[in-house]
Structure 1
């Protein structure tokens, strides 16, 4: 039994695309649960539920953030394997089969897909997204080959339901928390590079910071920072990602954008240290909606 959990909020314009990509690929024994609180998105989900019995809306009486929404979905899920995704991304045409295949090994606790940027490389912010997703791809390939710990991408990953009790409701990076807790139980996380998911990234610096401070800030929280496993930090990013980013540039303009990205990432990590480690701002403050990714 497979359960797909999609969390979404005010994404009536994109949730249909997300569902259309999942539905043709779902195994016979599966369900697709959508957790959302707003009326507009819920109306679209109800339309799909009338046509497709495996689609079900999980009501979210009050909006308390993505971790709380995921906990509602986990409580309702009937599947042994749970696939996590978002309402503003689109999975590839043949993404689910490679995502699920590694679970034939009982020692595998989770499998992560591969994000692709659908933002234009010809713009600075679009170029940054291509650099970062390629860096994550190369890191996951290398760590998967050696059997090392690797992080799941919240845009598309699957995990054994029995290994996830609940997610702390103040977790800024729920994918990181789930990844670390699965690894801490002795299970391996695999990478499925053929399990593609297409993501639109922010197109302005203010939105970029809003998104990245929240997601990167999750690695400064105790749930992740105190774990014996590590894949992402400011130090590791500088050591392992700098050369790859420089090699990624194919023109003087892209090289200049790469140098600007180094400055932006330093700015980001300083903000994370100040807002998460020092000020300890709550999820409700740090999780700000980013419109340019819709």
Structure 2
């Protein structure tokens, strides 16, 4: 079998009332620096948003055919939204992005490149808060994520944004921790 020189991925953005952030997030995804990765589609799954998130995403859909919007009329939980993304995604590698984060310009590439090794089933990254660590809240947020990172170095804890091979059809609907469910399914495969 010939070795692939580029890998394709689908990105699922899971949102609930992210009108303040969704434009920045979609712009960041559209402007990723990619050499060995092709983003086939960006699927936004909106769970009963009431703040105008859907209208903003629809405008992006009009100008960017790779962006698609799936709306859930009622909130059924993040697992339900992830399952809608998995069912509609066409690529072999899937990325789930939380609606309240902004990836760096090389994040997608860094998440996808490890999949050239067929033994890799899942990748994740570390969130870097933008809060000013010189304020009380900023210090607290940075401390929380730094501790999270130190714990993850001992026992990996993926979240906020993960990539995985599409080797399953769905995660348990009652899952409280979707990334942990995905990790368990990947390990069992």
TM surpasses 0.5: yes
TM-score range, shorter chain: 0.7 to 0.9
1:182 to partner: Cα distance: 1.5
Determine helix, strand or coil for the equivalent of 2:20: coil
Please identify the structure whose Cα radius of gyration is greater: 1
SS where residue 33 of structure 1 aligns? strand
Partner residue of 2:100 out of 73, 88, 92: 88
> Match of 2:85, SS?
helix
Unmatched 5+ stretches in structure 1: 144-148, 186-294
Contact (CA 8 Å) 1:2, 1:29: kept in 2 or not?
yes
Gaps of 5+ in 2: 1-7
Superposition map of 1:1-294 within 5 A = 1-25=8-32, 27-28=37-38, 30-36=40-46, 37-38=48-49, 40-140=52-152, 142-143=153-154, 150-153=156-159, 155-162=160-167, 164-185=168-189
* Contact 2:111/2:123 (<8 A) preserved: yes
Q: Secondary structure at the match of 2:74?
A: coil
Q: Residue 18 and residue 59 in structure 1: after superposition, are their counterparts in 2 closer, same or farther (change >3 A)?
A: same
Distance in 2 between residues matched to 1:74 and 1:118, nearest whole Å: 30
SS at match of 1:84: strand
Relative contact order, higher structure (CA 8 A, sep 6+)? 2
Name the count of aligned residue pairs.
177
* Alignment TM-score, normalising by the size of structure 1: 0.56
Q: 1:172 to 1:125 in 2, by over 3 A?
A: farther
- Inter-partner Cα distance in structure 2 for 1:8 and 1:139: 27
More helix by share: 1
Deviation of residue 171 (structure 1)? 1.7
